[in-house]
Chain A
């Protein structure tokens, strides 16, 4: 075999000394990880920023938080955050986060992943974690396609939308994500777009105050994979589209917030209820046994 190449930990330290700490939000970003890998015009940079600001607004220190991601463009978010971060396998962020939360009940455990990861390959985990009301904060970035692999059809792709694997227009009915999250039992369900940065920060900090399975869908542009074949223009054009076509409908029935290819987008906080979490129930059960179980 070839001679084993060396590793110099000083390399990263030198880069960090140069670049890190200049920005006031750098405390939330892992040293030496910026610039990120996302395309120009992508909505994920906004989501990353909103997430950090949401933590700041809620007064959470990085060491109190963990972020778990699956695979895909959104899955890369975990790697930029300066906290304990876990970039897992495709679709399995939620069950991994379930194990992490139940073993570290005092930590705020977040799942940040994409629509394909959470609702196609990971759909079963998503609905069951919501059903159990595991205390996880799920942020699902929906860009209507598989971006990392170059723009394939997803379970969220609207009817008629073109992708590399729906070249003649998508013929499958898409999921309405807030409706699914609500039906499965989420205690908080909201939708915003990457244009609604301020509302998103508020929503993220709200979920941090809530116990139980919370779900925020963020509609975000993917000019490279989804925007181009559907002639939606640049990332900036899509932001303009969100501004002009989003309708704030707090308390709307989640079954009525479907999204079409170029139709209106209902945004707002749809669901905010309280019910015992998995851990509340487990603790109560242990109490009846007289055991010392503390989780």
Chain B
């Protein structure tokens, strides 16, 4: 008997393993990767599980190869994934660009550690946030999701596949060493309760020769014909027209790149996910956090609210696209944004940009290797609350 791809029930798992299980539950049947701390456990779980659920596991020679292989497998019709950390993510960015240009659904897990370069292989960092958005050259819309717990490593990896299939692009699960390596209870639902999104396909009624592979008929995402279906599609990383043929003209570039950005930009209301607490009315402070940092921030805000402070919590579940409208709106009714993150100020820049000078942005940085404590964040909340309410 084959093993079930969906391990329904209650488990005690580390985040990396929960991530692999989320992918399998989402229907991922191709994994290509390369060992790297602190993401290796994702690959190890896949190596054990893939052969038992009818999927393919392959350990590639490097991360450039891993990323290329998952693109190839996606065009072969399988849901595909790779996992890595900073140095490997840097190597993948080239082919993430190919995935963006060729609109190839797949998922990349980046379990962030301290950088730059080899940095802190075994310890936490959150400094790849801008890289996840802008890492490959050129303009493109992108999606990065940031789980804060092993349960979310399952749930949001699953969601990442649905978003990748719906919008036809590589989606990044941007997590960190702490979330990847912590153990917590993970509840895996019944297979029947899992809602799978499918990539748009050319309608069966359409004649093969009438299919225009990169023309978005309905909305901004073109239907995708995979290999062997008889559509004879040409897929290229060169600027191409709707036929998929290379066209070295400004007009083709304008049409293609604007659509690659717009298919995300104009769908932000369907893509963006946030967790919110106490964001109503006039506020002294809003704490904005994501990933492992959100765990301390959530606790700090809760304690501050128990003390009667007018403080809200905005957690970025999708780091990209950034919830610009939400932050703009909050900027009009809060004194400060407090942004703890394990880097030298990345999401803090976005908050500052969107607040447009209406609210102050207080950045709480750590360079990596450890996370903020709730007490540290609470102290900053109290400082700014008392400044506004002397």
Report Cα–Cα, A5/B74, bound state, in Å: 31
Q: Which of A9, A30, A66, A285 contacts B242 (CB 8 A)?
A: A9
Name the interface residues of B49-83: CB closer than 8 Å to any CB of A. 50-56, 58, 60-62, 64-66, 68-78, 80
Complex interface bits, B221-259 against A, C-beta within 8 A gives 1, otherwise 0: 000000111111111111001110110000100110010
Tell me, yes or no, whether A102 is within 8 Å of chain B by CB: yes
Contacts of A104 in B (CB 8 A): 76-77, 227-228
Q: In chain A between 76 and 114, which residues have their CB closer than 8 angstroms to a CB of chain B?
A: 78-79, 82-89, 91-92, 94-104, 106-107
A99 adjacent to B68 (CB under 8 Å): yes
In contact, A95 and B68 (Cβ under 8 angstroms): yes
Indicate whether A103 sits within 8 Å of B235 (C-beta atoms), given known contacts A89-B98, A128-B61, A292-B2: no
CB distance from A37 to the nearest CB of B (A): 9
Residues of A within 8 A of B2 (CB): 290-293
- State whether A66 touches B32 (Cβ < 8 A): no
**A12 vs B214: C-alpha distance in the bound complex, in angstroms?**
14
Find the B residue at minimum CB distance from A295: B56
Cβ B215 vs Cβ A9 within 8 A: yes
- For residue A62, which residues in chain B have a CB less than 8 angstroms away from its CB? 232
Known contacts A4-B255, A87-B238, A92-B95; is-contact A293 B52 (Cβ 8 Å): yes
Q: Whole-angstrom distance from the CB of A83 to the nearest CB of chain B?
A: 5
By beta carbon, the residue of chain A nearest B214 is A7
- CB-defined contacts of B69 to chain A, threshold 8 Å: 95-96, 98-99, 102
Most buried by B among A62, A83, A100: A100
**Smallest distance from the beta carbon of A153 to chain B beta carbons, Å?**
23
Q: Report the minimal beta-carbon distance from A225 to chain B, rounded to whole angstroms.
A: 20
A14 within 8 A of B: no
- Say if the beta carbon of A255 comes within 8 Å of chain B: no
Q: By the criterion CB–CB under 8 Å, are A87 and B234 in contact?
A: yes
| A99 and B234 contact, CB distance less than 8 A | no
- Chain B residues lying within 8 Å of A125, measured Cβ to Cβ, are 61, 64-65, 68
| Interface flag for A210 (CB, 8 Å) | no
A5 to B247 Cα, complex, angstroms:
14
The answer to whether B236 and A107 touch across the interface, beta carbons within 8 angstroms, is no
Structural contact, B228 and A66, CB atoms closer than 8 A: yes
Bound complex: CA A102 to CA B80 (Å): 11
What is the CB-to-nearest-CB distance from B95 to chain A, in angstroms, rounded to a whole number? 6
Determine the interface band of chain B, counting residues with CB < 8 A from chain A: 35 or more
Residue A63 interfacial (CB < 8 Å):
yes
Q: Cβ of A44 < 8 Å from any Cβ of B?
A: no
**A86 in complex: contacting residue of B51, B75, B97, B231, CB < 8 Å:** B75
Are B51 and A289 neighbours in the complex by a CB distance under 8 Å?
yes
- Chain B residues with Cβ below 8 Å from A4 are 254-255, 258
Contact, CB under 8 Å: B3 / A124: no
Please determine whether A78 and B234 come into contact, CB atoms closer than 8 angstroms: yes
Q: Is the CB of B231 within 8 A of A290?
A: no
Q: Does B94 contact A (CB under 8 A)?
A: yes
Q: Which residue of chain B has the shortest Cβ distance to A84 in the bound complex?
A: B227
Residue contact B76 to A102, C-beta cutoff 8 Å: yes
Of the candidates B30, B228, B229, B232, which one forms a contact with A82 in the assembled complex, judged by CB atoms under 8 Å apart? B232
B271 within 8 A of A: no
Q: Which of B32, B56, B229 has the most A CB atoms < 10 Å from its CB?
A: B56
| A295 with B54: CB separation less than 8 A | yes
Hey, what's the 0/1 contact readout for B14-33 against A, CB within 8 Å counting as 1?
00000000000000011010
Give the distance in Å from the alpha carbon of A83 to the alpha carbon of B52 in the complex.
33
Any B CB within 8 A of the CB of A231: no
Least CB distance from B308 to A in Å reads 49
Cross-chain contact of B51 among A84, A89, A293 (Cβ < 8 A): A293
Q: With an 8 A cutoff between CB atoms, is B212 at the interface? A: yes
Please pick, from A12, A99, A292, the residue contacting B80 in the complex, using a CB distance under 8 A: A99
Say if the beta carbon of B204 comes within 8 Å of chain A: no
B215–A88 touching, CB < 8 Å: no
- Chain A residue nearest to B238 (CB atoms) is A87
Task: Compute how far the CA of A62 lies from the CA of B228 in the bound complex, rounded to whole angstroms.
Answer: 9
Query: Once the chains are docked, how many angstroms separate the CA of A94 from the CA of B62?
Result: 13
Residue A179 is within 8 A (CB to CB) of chain B in the complex: no
Whether, in the assembled complex, A68 has its beta carbon less than 8 Å from a beta carbon of chain B, the answer is yes
Q: Given contacts A5-B254, A12-B245, A103-B73, could you give 11 more A-B pairs where the C-beta distance is less than 8 Å?
A: A66-B228, A84-B235, A87-B236, A88-B237, A92-B68, A96-B68, A99-B73, A104-B228, A124-B62, A291-B53, A295-B54
21 contacts between A and B (CB under 8 A): A1-B258, A64-B228, A79-B234, A82-B232, A87-B235, A88-B237, A95-B32, A95-B72, A98-B32, A98-B58, A99-B71, A99-B73, A103-B73, A103-B76, A104-B228, A107-B227, A124-B65, A125-B64, A291-B3, A291-B52, A293-B52
